[in-house]
C-alpha cells in the first residue's frame, strides 16, 4: 500500500509586476466606488433633512448692511390748536371734545429716513426742552416702527400743548434703537414760546448739524 502522507503543496507562481499593478488598481477602483456610494447616500440624507428642517441648512454669511437714520426738514408752527393740527396731519377728530380740539399748542413736522434697519424695532421719541435753561420738561416714547424695507422714508408729525405763561421751548425728535438703547438720529425745531407767545431765548444745538 502506498504510504499515506500529506500532499505536497505546489508552489504558486509569483505575480509579475504587471499583475500586481492591475490588482492594486482594481482595489483602488473598488474603494473609490464604495466611497462614492457612501458620499451619495450621505448627500441624499442631508437633502431630505434640509427639506424637513430648513432651519438646519447652513446660511451664506453676508456682510452687515450699512445702517443710518436721519431726521430732516423740521419745521414748527408755534400756535396751532389741536383740531388744526389734526387737520394739518390728515388725522381724524373723532373722540375728541371741543375743549380738547381748541387747546393751543405747537406742531412740528419732519421727514424721517431709516436705512439698513429692516425688521428692527425702532422708537420715535419726542422731547420738549426749555430753551432758556436746557432742561427737559416733557417726553413721550409712545410710537414704535419696524421698517419693512432696507430704506424707509416716513413723514413725522407731532403736537405739544403750549405751556402757560412766558417761556421758550424746543421740540426734539429722536430715533432710538431698541437693541442698542441709543439714539441713531436727532432733529430739533427752532424755539417757540409759551402761551403768551414770547420766544426770546438762546439757540440751543441739541442735535448734530443743527
Pair 108, 155 in one domain: yes
For residue 33, tell me if it sits in a domain: yes
Pair 72, 128 in one domain: yes
For residue 176, tell me if it sits in a domain: yes
Pair 36, 72 in one domain: no
Pair 118, 29 in one domain: no
Q: What is the pLDDT of residue 1?
A: 47
Residue 131 has pLDDT above 60, yes or no: yes
For residue 206, tell me if it sits in a domain: no
pLDDT tens digits for 27-46?
555 555 555 545 454 555 44
Q: What is the pLDDT of residue 91?
A: 94
For residue 210, tell me if it sits in a domain: no
The Cα–Cα gap between 172 and 167 comes to 16
Share of the chain above pLDDT 70, in %: 66
pLDDT tens digits for 47-75?
554 455 555 555 555 555 689 999 999 99
Pair 128, 52 in one domain: no
Select the more confidently predicted residue: 32 or 139: 139
Domain count, the chain: 2
For residue 201, tell me if it sits in a domain: no
The Cα–Cα gap between 177 and 67 comes to 11
Q: Count the alpha carbons within 13 Å of 78 in the hemisphere toward its beta carbon.
A: 16
Instruction: Supply the range of the domain harboring residue 30.
Output: 20-56
For residue 63, tell me if it sits in a domain: no
Domain boundary among 29, 56, 83: 56
Pair 96, 153 in one domain: yes
Classify residue 153 by burial, with Cβ atoms within 10 Å: 0-12, 13-18, 19+: exposed
Band the pLDDT of 151: cuts 50, 70, 90: very high
Q: What is the pLDDT of residue 31?
A: 53
Pair 144, 189 in one domain: yes
| HEC sequence for 49-104 | HHHHCHHHCCCCCCCCCCCEEEEEEEEEEEEEEHHHHHHHCCCCCCCCCHHHHHCE
Amino acid at each position: 500500500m502506498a504510504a499515506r502522507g500529506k500532499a505536497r503543496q505546489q508552489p504558486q507562481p509569483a505575480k509579475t509586476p504587471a499583475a500586481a499593478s492591475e490588482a492594486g488598481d482594481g482595489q483602488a477602483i473598488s474603494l473609490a466606488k464604495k466611497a462614492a456610494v457612501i458620499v451619495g447616500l450621505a448627500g441624499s440624507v442631508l437633502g431630505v433633512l434640509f427639506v424637513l428642517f430648513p432651519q438646519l441648512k447652513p446660511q451664506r454669511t453676508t456682510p452687515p448692511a450699512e445702517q443710518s437714520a436721519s431726521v430732516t426738514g423740521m419745521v414748527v408752527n408755534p400756535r396751532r390748536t389741536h383740531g388744526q393740527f389734526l387737520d394739518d396731519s390728515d388725522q381724524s377728530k373723532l373722540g375728541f371734545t371741543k375743549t380738547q380740539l381748541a387747546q393751543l399748542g405747537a406742531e412740528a413736522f419732519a421727514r424721517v429716513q431709516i436705512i439698513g434697519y429692516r425688521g428692527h424695532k425702532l422708537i420715535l421719541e419726542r422731547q420738549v426742552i426749555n430753551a432758556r435753561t436746557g432742561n427737559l420738561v416733557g417726553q413721550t416714547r409712545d410710537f414704535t416702527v419696524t421698517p419693512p424695507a432696507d430704506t424707509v422714508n416716513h413723514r413725522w408729525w407731532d403736537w405739544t400743548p403750549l405751556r402757560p405763561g412766558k417761556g421758550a421751548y424746543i421740540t426734539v425728535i429722536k430715533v432710538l434703537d431698541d437693541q442698542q438703547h441709543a439714539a441713531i438720529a436727532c432733529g430739533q425745531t427752532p424755539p417757540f414760546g409759551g402761551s403768551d407767545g414770547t420766544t426770546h431765548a438762546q439757540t440751543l444745538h441739541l442735535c448734530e448739524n443743527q
